[in-house]
Structure formats: structure tokens, C-alpha cells
Structure 1
Amino acid sequence: MKNFTNYRLWLVGIALFMTGGLCAGCSGADDGQSGAEPEGKLRLEMSANYAKVGDTVNFTVYKGDVDVTANAIIRMKGDKTPCSPNYKADRAGTRYFAAIYNESSTSYQPVRFYVPYRDEGEFFKKSLVLKFTGAWCSACPLMYKYLGEIEVERPGRTAVMAVHSGDVFASDVSEELVQDYQITSFPHAVFDYKTSVSNNAAELNAALDDMLAEEPAICGIALRSAVEDGEAAVKARIRVAQEDRLRLCCAVVEDGLRYDGGSSDDGLSNYYHVLRRFITDRFGEDVGTREAGEEFEHEFVFPVPEEWKKENCTVFVYALRLQEDGETVYVNNTSACALDGGESDFEYEPVPETAN
């Protein structure tokens, strides 16, 4: 009996020893000395917001005050492949980057990569916006408001051409444009002959971001326009930053057209940016392959109808690029000036002094 009691005490001792060891092990795992998750907000820091093509932009990811770059993922918008934390661009344009760490992510932040042109920098890029509208359309003034807000926030980034359909302002190509871009609801916008957007402020802003980011302006366009004896002469000077085959398109829009029977842009029966006429084919005139650094001139001469109020008219000239399929063309850059007595010079993207 005594031996049995001693045996039981021995088993209890072993059990207590093992339990203590296990608890000690648990305590050690929870002491926070190793493997603890950093606290705080995830943020992405970049060595530069502007950089020349070929320069390196370094990304650092922080969780609170802890550098977690080694275990984070850097994503570029539109690219499923993770980026290196030391990113080097091979072409100009704006890229958007975000960081992902565990279940946290940052918002996308822009970095603009530019190619200096001579001593002045990258050409300023203006996106052409075809706004499909009609005087009968009660929702259309809202898009006019949205595009106006974009112009306030990013001056000069858009050239709006209002394509009216089914009303007194419809042009001879309105229905053709509606069919080509498969417009089934109004209002609608098409950016640079490429991206179609419905009446949504966020989508309009996103479309403009995409157009500005996808590729830089491959040329700059300076204009001088005058009307004499009922005939307009628009002289365009083109500076080429990148060798490419170009087409040039010319069109005229008019502001302040009045019609009392519809939903006007400003609520006062006035309509703005109304497409009056394409001076060229809407796909432009082929001006051939041009070399980087080349500068050339092209002139558009056309009659000005009496019903146009020339003081309210603006002429658009824009460059189109032929795509790889040999048929599709997209707008690359746009310039505008007053039809009578107007001028516009070459514009360049602002490059901060801090840019490397």
C-alpha cells in the first residue's frame, strides 16, 4: 500500500512538472518579444514624386514607426506584377503606386516620370473630351457641371467638344459619332477617342487620370488663327518629342448658343462647347512620320459660315497616333485658341525644382 501511494505521488509530480513546462512554454510564446504585429497606420513613402525617365524612385513601407518594406508588396495601378521597392521607369507618364502589408493597404499615390525636351521639359498634355448631349436631355447639364469642376481643379487639362444629337445643334457627323462609339445613354463622354464614361464625377476624373498616365504627349502644338473676309486661316506649329506617325485634326466649337426649348448647360438657355464642324476628317490628315526634335507647320483654311458668331468660336487642333493595328487612332495631345485673332504657344509640364 505504501509503495502504491509513493507511485501515485510520483505520477502527480511528473504531471505537475509537465504542466508547468507547458505553461511556461505558452507564456514564452505570448511575451511579445518576437513575432509581434507592429501597430499603427500603414503608409507608403517615396523618395520623389517627380523623376526623370531612367532615375530610380525608392519606396519605403511603414506600419506605424516600423519599416516593413521587406515583407510588403508594392503594386502599380493596372499591373498585377509586384514592383521592386527601387522602381525605374523606361518611359514617361504618371504611374500610381500602393503598398500592401498583411491585410492592410495604402491608397494609390502618383509619381510622374518625365523626359526633358531640349531645356524646357515634357509637353503639357490636354485631353480631348467628346461630350454626347442634347437640348432635350434633362440629365446632361450635370455632366457640364462635372467637367467644369475638373477644369477648375486641373486647369487646361481638358478640351471639351459637345456633340449634340437629336436637336437643333446636331452637326452633320453627330449620328455617325453616336453609332461609332455605341452611345446608348445621355449624357456620355469619350476621352481621346478611347475611353467611354457615363455621367459620374468619379469616373470622369478616373478617365482623365488614365489618359494622362498612359502615355506622355509626343508633341506640342502652337496655334495662330485669324478670320478675314469670311475665311479662317489656322496655322499650327508642331514640335515633336518622340518619333511617330502623326495625323492632325481640326474642329470648331462655339459657346453661348441659345435655345429656349430644352435643358441648357447653365439653366439660362445657353449651350457651350458645341461642335460646329470638323474642318478635316475627324480622323485627321496624315502628316507622315516625324522625327524627335523636328518642328514643322501645317495650315487649315476654311470658310466661316455667317451663322457662326466668330467671337464665340474656338478652334481645336489635335494630334492623333496610329496604333499598332494600323487602323485605330487615339488622340495624343490637343491645343485650342480663339478662332478670330487667337494664339496659343507651346506648353510644358511644370517640373518642381526638387525634381531630380
Structure 2
Amino acid sequence: MSVMKLSNIFMNMLGLSAIALAVACNEEERVVELRTIKAVIELPTTKTALDGPNANGVYKTVWASGDAIAVCSSDGKTSEFKLKSGENTNKGEFEGAAELGSLIAVYPYSIVKGKSGSTISVSLPEVQEYVSGNIPAGAYPMVASSDNSSFSFKNLCSVLKFRMFGDLTIKSITLTPNDSNIRVSGDAFIDINSKELVVYKDANPSVSLNCPDGVKLTSEPTDFLIVVPAQKYVGGFTITISTNEGIVVKTIKSDMTLNRSTLYPSEVFECKVGDGKDNIVFDDANFKTYIIKNFDTDGDGEISHEEAMAITKIDVDTDNIESLSGIEYMTNLTELNCEGPFVWSGYEPEEGEGKLKTLDVSKNTKLTKLYCGFNQLSSLDLTKNVQLERLRCAGNYLTSLDVSKNTELTRITAYNNRLSSIDVSNNTKLAIIDLSNNQIKSIDVSKNESLTTFNCDDNLLTELYPYNNSKLTTIYCSNNKLSSINVSKNAKLTDLAIYDNNVSEINISNNLELIHLYCDNNKISELDLSKNSKLKEVSVNDNNLTSLTVSSCPEIVFLGADNNQIKDLDISDLVALKYLNCIGNPLATLYVFEGQVDAITEMKIPSSTSIVVKGSEEPGDWADKEFWHKSLGMRFTATWCGYCPTMATSFKTAMANYPDKIELVNLHASSSNLAFSGTSLLASIFNITGYPTGIVDYRTRIGNSDIDYTAKLIVNAAKETENSYPTKTGISFRSSASNGMLNLDIKLYIKEKGDYKVTAILLEDNIIGEQNGAGNDYVHDRIARLAITGITGDEFSTTADFKTVNKHYSAALPSSLDKGNLYILVYVLKQYGSQTVIRTADYGDYYVDNAASAAVGTVQELILWGGNEDITDGGEITLN
């Protein structure tokens, strides 16, 4: 084969200039009329066709039959102007309809897609049609602008001319930049201001010159001209010549800058295909182009046997490759990726179609990874590939697949084929099997003890026995003909999908790790989920269930139970639930916790279903007992406040003197180093004008004074609440923090019907820092950091005595907080109603009925038998 270095055969032969166009029109603006444009081609010039060169090395340019120009007005409208006269001359008249005023003209009309602002979108042809001795028709773009009758066109591209002789017939010539980031055809735009052509980064990486009837070479040179964008070609480019006897490839690997309006001819060379003794012969031009680009180490434009043996990995798309002939010489190949085009759908690629119909890897005995999916393969022989570890042949036409010799396999992905059976008994190292969407009636996986993922969706299975597969985490066998499945030995199972089968019962009591369960459209009448506390998604639509208990699965986010026979459903323990589907059931009652319905993103239930707050039906044993009462102390403070430490000590003294009867929250002003967003609103409610100030139970204002005296005022205020307002609410709650999120579930016990509010605040202890009047090492405790509810409380009402109310909240935890020193404070506000109002000033219609706090991550149980016990008269005693 003839070998040439293009770096030595290109030379600049010609400078190309512009064309002047004369435009005939009147002066009235924005009027559309039939117009004639006189297009005058001046020398030296190149445009639609070449004639020359003359004695000065200049090509004369003439208009060609069928030429058309796009004329764009200022408002973006584009009109076609066609050559009326002047064919084969440098003067032509074009006729069309356009508005008056400033216009932009682009040649040829066929590439223009539209005008937007200061750019014109164009599409450079990916395939140019060969014209004997001339530029391909309609392939050489120009632009001009004018607001008068004179247009000066500017050429935008370069021209390459390849001159060759020989005995072959040329079918096509393809130019591909060696830098994969460079594009040469497809979508581009013309900058009207700079008159420059810019090719988009997602345009096409090659441009071809097509010779539809073939061009027979002779002993005299034949010219082939191809138009390319004027730009720098980093790393040069590759020319792939398709002939009647095979592929000829020429490559230049040095940088080349092609200027606009310039023609670059090559030296004359003989075009011939090598004899194959020293270099590999490839059947497919595109495959050879890929191989040359990536593995031509000596830069001669060919692949020798030595270079072929050095190749260990091939990664090529087969959307334009029909044959991988030549890989038989790449005997050290360990990884071959020759998949067709596909798109991702969920966790795996969906079907596309490459052009490979056959694939012979019998000589590639060192292969460990083979990815040949999404082609048109009807057979695949892997008997010689005994080292193969991973196989993906999905999306083909395979009717059989023999992997009996491939004992090193760890993954088989063969979905979307036509397999009726497969034997994997020799593949004991398999961890992943994906055979979905085939025609398999049975499969034995008893020898595959390393198996972690098994997908056999959309087949014809009548039975499946994963007894020996203790490592399985995922089983997908939906849309088969299964009547039963036993997963009792699969303790690590996290995902189970068996929808669209004939299963009548399923026992998952041993599957404690289960997260996703899908068993829609079966015949299941009972389902025990009591052991599956980690479930997040449960879908049991279209079965025969008469009941469904989910109380042991608090993490469920999605619950689908459409079209069953469920009469009652209790979801009050599903604190994470966001999606509930339960239509098509005789569902009489849905039990929820207070506020749960509002927290659910999507809920579909029968319109006749009654929604009942769980716990509101019958009072518990708390109804006839007293609640333990705690008052709420609020201290309005700031780090810059020099008197504030005194009141802080007063509150600590009061809490020591009246133990376990007062909860405290410290509210820092917005100007404090420990500012809290809710302080301003609370301060406005209690008319706080100076710091420090204390408030007890939303009723009593506490000023700053002597420590012991102030402490006494605080205790007296707390006792006054207990004596004047018997406690009507009990509080219990649990909280957790993980992955930066705080979850809080509150249960309130209401003895007396009425209007209430509940407030929850995140507190932080042991913050060591500056405090005016106490130094830089002051320990700040019970500091308000985050309002979990509304800071003035979330309203709720009960219409009867002895009811419970459930609330669920979640909030993002600020990363700056010390997770080990966080507490939840919950307090309940009760409306005064008909009770006597005792307070320092008018602070609204509510007072604090009860309060409780506990560390984040713990449970605060309901405390009974609280409050001050009355003292009865025991009678007079006599002393002797």
C-alpha cells in the first residue's frame, strides 16, 4: 500500500476574495415586494463554481444553474432569491421577495435555518456530492450585509483538493479531525457582526465527499474538492478513501490552520490498497478510521501486525460500523466495547441498534470484558473466550447463548434478546445475571452461590428456586408465569419484584433487610410485613388482600394497594409516607395521625372513605390521671448585654429551687452573636423593649433584679399557673437525626376540648463563648437555634374531651450545630376561653399549659401524676 505524509503534500495555492452584489430597491422601509438582486462576482474569487486557474494562479468564479441565496431582513424573516440570469458568468441576477432596508444575504439558501438577533443558524452538509473538477454544489457558504444596493460577500470556509491517480474506483472520501473536539459539519452559526462561521461543539465530527456513481481513476490525476470550515485543526486530520477494493487512509498528525477563502491542493499521489502482508486490511472504513486514530503509533496511516498486537482495549460505537474485521489480529485484546447507540432508562441502557450483524472474537482469547449490546447479532460464539469475566450482549437477536466454557464470568447482561433457555451451571462466579425480556421458560441458579442480583423480568418462567443464593440482594422476576416463590433463604434481600404473575402467597418474614417490595397483579390474599421494618416502597396493587398491616414499617414512603378488598387501613405509624394509592377498595376507614394527611404529597383513596385520627376514638388510661406540669420560662437576652448573666443565674436558681417544674429557652436578639430568627416576633408579642427580660408561661413578665428575688418571682409565676389553670395537656415525643435531617413525632393528650397551639424549638447547650459581663468563656445553655414549628405555635382544635393529637415534623439540621448537645423543647398553648385571665399585660389569647424537653435522638414519654398535690386538714394534735 502506498504510504504518504500529508504534512508534505499540502500547499497554499490560492487566495479567495469576495463577491459584490448590486441590489435594486426603492427607499420605503419594511415593504415586501418582488425584487431583483444583481450579483457581480469580482476577481480573484471563489464561489459556486470554479474556472481556472488563469496565468496568475487565480480561479475564475461563475454562477451555476440552480443557485439560490437566502436574504434575511432585520426582523428575522428569510426569503429565497433564485438565479434568474447569468449562468456560467460572473454576473447574475437573482429574483425574490424581501422587505426594504438593511438586509443580510447568505449563500447557499439551502443551509440557512433562521435568523435570531445577530446570528444566522445554518447547517453545513455532512455529505457533499462530488462534482467533476469543481466544488460540491451548494457546499461553499458566503455572507454579506448591506443597507443600500451594494453587497460585498465574504467567503467563510476553506477548500481542500486531493489529486490522485491509479486503477481504483473512488466511492467516497471522508475527512475526520484527529482532535475529537473539532467539528466540521452540521449545526453552526454565522456571526453577523464579525462575518465569521462558528461550528457548534455538538455538531458532526466528520464530513464526506460522496461519489454516487464511483469515479474511476486513470494514469492522469483526478481532482476531488471538499469544503471544510476555516479553523485550526489541532493534531491534523485523517482522510479515509473508500474504493472498490478496500480502504485507503491518509493522515496528517501535525497542527494545520486552514484559512477562509483559500484552496489547499495536495501533491499528486497514487491511490492504492496495500497487499495485506505487512498491514491489516479492514473491511469497514469507519472502523479503520477509529483504529488509525487511536493505535497508529508510527503515523503511517496504516496498522501493522505489530501495532495490532499491541492493542488491548477497543471502545467504539457501531452506529456507523458494519464490520469489525481485523480484530482477529489483535490477539492481546482484553476489553472490547462495540455497542450500538442506546439511551439510559432507569438503571440500565435501553435498546438501540448498531450496524453489527456478525462478530467473531474466536481469536481474541485474552478477552476479559466484552460489550457488544444493541446491535443486530443473531449468534455469538464465546467458546474460545475462557478468560471472559463480563459480558453484555443485550439488545440483539440472539436465540441461544452458550457460556459453558466461560467459567470466570461474574456478570451476564443479555436482556432484550430472543433466548429460550440458558445454562449457567458452570458459571459459579456469577454475581449479576440480567436476562429480562427473553423467552426463557426455566433456569437453574442453584450452582450460582455468589449471585447478588438476578433479573429475569418479562420471560416465561413457571418456577424459581433461589435456595442456594444466600448472597442475593435483588430479585426481579416480574411478568412471568410463577405460581409461587420461596425467598426464605435470601436473608440479605433488599429488592423483590414479582408483579404480573400468578403467586397466591409470599412469605417474607426472613427478609429483614427488604427495602422495596413489588408484587402487583398476583393472587395474594394475605401479606405479613411485621418483620420488614426497613421497607420504603410497597406496591401490592391488584391482588386479593382483605387487610394490610403496616404498623411495623415506619419508613414506608410509597404504599400502593389499589384494587384489593381492604376495608380498613391504619397508616398512623408511617411517619415518612408521601404517596398513598388505595382506590378500588371497599375502604371504610383510614386511620392517620394528626397532620399526616397534610404531609402526604399524593393520596388516592375512595371518596367514601372516612379519615380518622388514630387515638381520637377512645381515651387511654391517662384520662383519669393528672399530668405532670412544667412551666415555660423565656429569657430575652443578647451576648452584648452586660446585665443578662444576672437574670440567667436567677432562672437557674429558680429551677433549682423548684426542680423539674420549669423548662427554659434563651432567645437571643438579632444583633447578638447567638441570634435566633424567631426572637423578634416573640419580642413584639410581649412588648420587649430592653434586655434582659423574662416571660413565664406567656403570662408573667419578669424584670431583672436581685438574683434571689428574681428567682422567687419566677417560681411564684410557675405556681400561679398550676393553681389557676389546671393542666389539660400531656406531652410525649420522639426525635431522630440522620443525614442532616431532623425528624420529630409529637403525641399530645388532650383532656378538654378547645383551641390549642403546639410549638417545638431546637435548643443547643454548652456553647462556650463571649458574654458581656461574664467574660469570653461563658457557657450558654438552652439557646434557641431552630423553630421546628411556627414560632408562635401551630394551631389545632379538638371538638371533644379526651382526644389525642399526633404531629410529625422534619427539618434540615444546620451543620454548624454540635449534634451532641441538641435538645427538643415542646410546649402547648391553650386558649383562655372562659377562664379568668391572670397576666402582667395583654399578651394574646393563649397561655402555656404544659412543656417538656428531651435530647435529640431520645424519647420523651408521657409523665402522669404531676402537678401540686393538695394538702388536706388532718385535725389538731396535742403535745404533752
TM bucket (normalised to shorter chain) is 0.5 to 0.7
Deviates more, 1:148-157 or 1:284-293: 284-293
From 799, 817, 822, the equivalent of 1:308 is 817
CA separation of 1:232 and 1:215: change in aligned 2, threshold 3 A: same
Q: How does 1:147-226 map to 2 (within 5 A)?
A: 147-165=651-669, 166-199=671-704, 200-226=710-736
Gaps spanning 5+ residues in structure 1: where? 1-116
Give the deviation of 1:192 after TM superposition.
Answer: 1.6
CA separation of 1:353 and 1:246: change in aligned 2, threshold 3 A: closer
Give the deviation of 1:291 after TM superposition.
Answer: 2.6
Structure 2 counterpart SS, 1:146: helix
2:766 is the counterpart of 1:280? no
Partner of 1:238: 748
CA separation of 1:162 and 1:351: change in aligned 2, threshold 3 A: closer
2:605 is the counterpart of 1:125? no
Aligned-partner residue type, residue 764 of structure 2: E
Give the deviation of 1:304 after TM superposition.
Answer: 0.8
Partner of 2:246: none
Structure 2 counterpart SS, 1:196: strand
From 317, 324, 330, the equivalent of 2:826 is 317
Give, in whole Å, the separation in 2 of the partners of 1:353 and 1:185: 38
Q: Is the 8 A contact 1:263 1:269 kept in 2?
A: no
From 846, 854, 860, the equivalent of 1:329 is 846
2:865 is the counterpart of 1:348? yes
Give the deviation of 1:352 after TM superposition.
Answer: 6.7
Q: Which has the higher contact order (CA 8 A, sep 6+)?
A: 1
Give, in whole Å, the separation in 1 of the partners of 2:869 and 2:833: 34
Structure 2 counterpart SS, 1:208: helix
Q: Is the 8 A contact 1:127 1:192 kept in 2?
A: yes
Give, in whole Å, the separation in 1 of the partners of 2:832 and 2:867: 28
Aligned-partner residue type, residue 310 of structure 1: K
Partner of 1:143: 647
CA separation of 1:149 and 1:290: change in aligned 2, threshold 3 A: farther
Give, in whole Å, the separation in 2 of the partners of 1:319 and 1:290: 17
Give the deviation of 1:310 after TM superposition.
Answer: 2.2
What is the identity percentage for the equivalent residue pairs of Structure 1 and Structure 2? 20
Q: Is the 8 A contact 1:221 1:334 kept in 2?
A: yes
Q: Is the 8 A contact 2:665 2:784 kept in 1?
A: yes
Give, in whole Å, the separation in 2 of the partners of 1:216 and 1:121: 12
Q: Is the 8 A contact 2:697 2:718 kept in 1?
A: no
Structure with greater helix share of residues: 1
CA separation of 1:322 and 1:351: change in aligned 2, threshold 3 A: closer
Please report the TM-score for the alignment, with normalisation by the length of structure 1: 0.61
Aligned-partner residue type, residue 346 of structure 1: I
Aligned-partner residue type, residue 333 of structure 1: N
Structure 1 counterpart SS, 2:848: strand
Give, in whole Å, the separation in 2 of the partners of 1:137 and 1:244: 40
Structure 1 counterpart SS, 2:645: helix
CA separation of 1:343 and 1:201: change in aligned 2, threshold 3 A: closer
Q: Is the 8 A contact 1:226 1:342 kept in 2?
A: no
- Give the alignment's Cα RMSD to 1 decimal: 2.6
CA separation of 1:267 and 1:292: change in aligned 2, threshold 3 A: farther
Give, in whole Å, the separation in 1 of the partners of 2:658 and 2:733: 22
Give, in whole Å, the separation in 1 of the partners of 2:693 and 2:677: 19
CA separation of 1:216 and 1:351: change in aligned 2, threshold 3 A: closer
Partner of 1:297: 806
Give, in whole Å, the separation in 1 of the partners of 2:868 and 2:723: 16
Q: Is the 8 A contact 1:247 1:284 kept in 2?
A: yes
Give, in whole Å, the separation in 2 of the partners of 1:121 and 1:355: 19
Give the deviation of 1:355 after TM superposition.
Answer: 6.6
Q: Is the 8 A contact 1:318 1:333 kept in 2?
A: yes
CA separation of 1:257 and 1:342: change in aligned 2, threshold 3 A: farther
Aligned-partner residue type, residue 634 of structure 2: L
Q: How does 1:91-106 map to 2 (within 5 A)?
A: none
2:780 is the counterpart of 1:257? no
Structure with greater strand share of residues: 1
Q: Is the 8 A contact 1:310 1:340 kept in 2?
A: no
Structure 1 counterpart SS, 2:770: coil
Give the deviation of 1:343 after TM superposition.
Answer: 2.9
Give, in whole Å, the separation in 1 of the partners of 2:868 and 2:758: 28
Q: Can you list the C-alpha shifts for 1:227-268, whole angstroms capped at 9, x where unaligned?
A: 12111111111112222222211111111112235345x983
Give the deviation of 1:222 after TM superposition.
Answer: 0.7
Give, in whole Å, the separation in 2 of the partners of 1:163 and 1:153: 23
CA separation of 1:261 and 1:152: change in aligned 2, threshold 3 A: closer
Q: Is the 8 A contact 2:641 2:771 kept in 1?
A: no
Rg comparison, structure with higher value: 2
Structure 2 counterpart SS, 1:155: coil
